[in-house]
Amino acid sequence: MWQAPPAPAPYPSEWLPALDIPAPGPQNRLTVLVRILLLIPQFIVVWVLSVVAFLVAVVGWFGALVLGRLPVFASDYLSSYVPYETRVNAYLLLTVDRYPPFAFR
């Protein structure tokens, strides 16, 4: 009688991505009420930076096609843009209570 082959071993746990988010702390109720209004300047900055990020990604793609690797300016910009956008979204979604700074870090 035919038997199915054994299932492959799962990936080692060190290969799996991990998302480390601290437990939510107490939220300031006033800022929760007006959080979307507080984030209007951040949304404008994120929108402008996302347009630039798109252009950098396109230029970086062509650079990677020619050079065989992502150009340094593209990796530096994109690796700074993504955490900034994530901080703004985390504040909007009530994950953190600290207003995101207007800075790449």
Cβ–Cβ contacts within 10 Å for residue 46, how many? 19
* pLDDT block averages, 10 residues each, the chain of length 105: 68 60 72 86 96 97 94 93 91 84 80
Q: Has residue 32 been placed in a domain?
A: no
Q: What pLDDT is recorded for position 65?
A: 95
Domain that holds residue 93: 41-97
Q: Has residue 93 been placed in a domain?
A: yes
Structural domain total, the chain: 1
Q: What pLDDT is recorded for position 13?
A: 58
**C-alpha triplet 92, 94, 95: angle, nearest 5°:** 110
Q: Has residue 34 been placed in a domain?
A: no
